[in-house]
Amino acid sequence: MAKSIRSKRKRKLRAIKRVRYAEKELARLKQTLGIVDKTKEKKDSSENAMDVVEVPDVPKDANCTVEGNVIEFSLKKEKNKSDSKKENERIGVVFPSEAMKMDVVTLNDIKKLGGYPKWMNQRYIHKMSKIKRRNKNKIKRIQKSNKHVRCGVKTLPESFKKKIAEGPQLDHFLEQQSKDWSDYTGDLKKEKGELKRLRLPPWLKTKIPTGENFSKLKTQLRNLNLHTVCEEARCPNIGECWGGGKYGTATATIMLMGDTCTRGCRFCSVKTSRAPPPLNPLEPVNTASAIAEWGLDYVVLTSVDRDDLPDGGSNHFAETVREIKKRNPNIIVECLVPDFKGSRKEVETIVNSKLDVFAHNIETVEKLTPYVRDRRAKYRQSLDVLSSAKEFNSDLLTKSSIMLGLGETDDEVMETMKDLRTCGVDCLTLGQYMQPTKRHLQVVEYVTPEKFKHWEQVGNDLGFLYTASGPLVRSSYKAGEFFISSIIKQRKTNQ
């Protein structure tokens, strides 16, 4: 109660101050114009009869002339219906002193400025005149420079057009090869405690994605409201995979169950949310229709983690695989699945959907897993998912992937590869981690191509059927599809 009374009192005091300030300003304005209140005039008329004078209101359209101590105003009267001539009324005012006369002579300026004193508008007048001069000069410069302007469109000279036609095209710049990586002298590894980001070495720089297949594939995905991990994860191989690459077949890794993940791994650029949008019931049919239209022999399906669903989205995943197989029984389907919180039941649902390759990424070594992946993703849990898939179907091809460059040691990488082979993993990919945005984990080391070749040889020695190792290799990289499809076809013929 006391607080409200104080606030009311403050508002009242502020209102009184505003009224007093307005009265002072009005008195100052009247003093400048020589206007005095009638009440004051009656009181002081006996003492100083000629010291003050009342000046009538000056209309904006009045003409003002000064003769001696007299200022005259000519007022325009309204037109009468009977008489169209204008009559002027002259008003005479006598100034008591020369100083008063000098102040009131500025009434011509006051009239032009809407009845305000000159001292209140001088800065504004200067500013507006300066802007007007600047705009005028700018228009002159534009008119002088645009000698080839017709109808608002600037035309190029014929000589310049000829140079453009004979010069290099955009494709010449896109096809420029980067220099040999052996000439690179930049830093490849961060020192301990160093905060600066490493520069991207030349062997990781890729071409800008272009081509007819790239544009066509992107349009089809947007029309069917489908998402790809190629776009969401900012894969560097999108130009090669979507554009056709070496074998001339455009492929894409379809991402199911939306583009929003319930987990927040520190290496991944996919959107995250605790409550993502509900599943699209038409997604399995739309995905199967798109793949059938592309006429592919090999397709990769992946998904975001949906911990908000009771089954983690396993039934939705399996339904999509069945729809694809229904339209093309000979197509090879690879499923890159989440860990489903380690649930063996959900893994079995995926395995029984007649897929050909079961893939689940271990991502990094055991020591770095808590720092790189989401806290709900565990190293041993991922190994259990891979071994469970092999138990449910021993003929199923299993696959995993490791990222290098996060600060792991060679011994830790070797231990991880051995763990994967012990779980029965058949195919392994190793690639360079690349920081997608500034808010994600920084790259600790850029592994050289020679080092990747070393890990490829180690993978073959450990007994993996297929090991893809390279700076730009990813878990669903199309370079490995030819070899994996050959393994699957050979197994089917042997059966």
Secondary structure in 3-state letters for 277-307: CCCCCCHHHHHHHHHHHHCCCEEEEEECCCC
Pairing of strands 153-154, 149-150: antiparallel
**Residues that constitute the known binding site:** 230, 235, 241, 261, 265, 268, 476
Six token digits for residue 194? 């160093």
As a whole number, mean pLDDT of residues 15-29 equals: 77
CA 82, distance to chain mean position in Å, is 71
pTM (2 decimals)? 0.58
Say which DSSP state 359 is in.
Answer: E
Six token digits for residue 269? 């650029």
Residue 63 has pLDDT above 80, yes or no: no
Residue 92 has pLDDT above 50, yes or no: no
Q: Give the range among 51-55, 349-353, 354-358, 424-428 with minimum mean pLDDT.
A: 51-55
Q: Residue 480 maps to which CATH number?
A: 3.20.20.70
Give the model's pLDDT for residue 332: 86
- 233 within domain boundaries: yes
- 56 within domain boundaries: no
3-class state of residue 406 by DSSP? coil
CA distance 483 to 247: 13
Reported as a pLDDT band with limits 50, 70 and 90, residue 293 is: confident
CA distance 366 to 375: 13
- At 119-154, the pLDDT tens digits run 456 666 677 778 888 888 888 877 776 555 544 455
3-class state of residue 374 by DSSP? coil
- 97 within domain boundaries: no
CA distance 95 to 121: 25
- 225 within domain boundaries: yes
As a whole number, mean pLDDT of residues 155-173 equals: 64
| Under 8 Å between Cβ of 462 and 427 | no
Reported as a pLDDT band with limits 50, 70 and 90, residue 325 is: very high
Domain interval for residue 454: 193-494
H-assigned helices in 105-157? 107-112, 122-145
- 67 within domain boundaries: no
- Residue 436: is it exposed, middle or buried by C-beta count within 10 angstroms (0-12/13-18/19+)? middle
| Under 8 Å between Cβ of 432 and 404 | yes
Six token digits for residue 160? 């310049």
**Number of structural domains in the chain:** 1
Q: Please report the beta strands in 173-309, taking only residues with DSSP state E, as ranges in sequence order.
A: 227-228, 253-256, 260-261, 271-272, 298-303
Q: What value does the mean pLDDT of the chain take?
A: 74
Give the model's pLDDT for residue 213: 61
CA distances from 73 to 18, 68, 98, 169, 289 (A): 35, 14, 19, 75, 88
- 61 within domain boundaries: no
- 59 within domain boundaries: no
Q: Give the range among 177-181, 301-305, 375-379 with minimum mean pLDDT.
A: 177-181
- At 439-462, the pLDDT tens digits run 888 888 889 889 999 999 999 999
Nearest Cα residue to 298 out of 340, 352, 359: 359
**Residues that constitute the known binding site for [4Fe-4S] cluster:** 230, 235, 241, 261, 265, 268, 476
- 465 within domain boundaries: yes
CA distance 167 to 162: 9
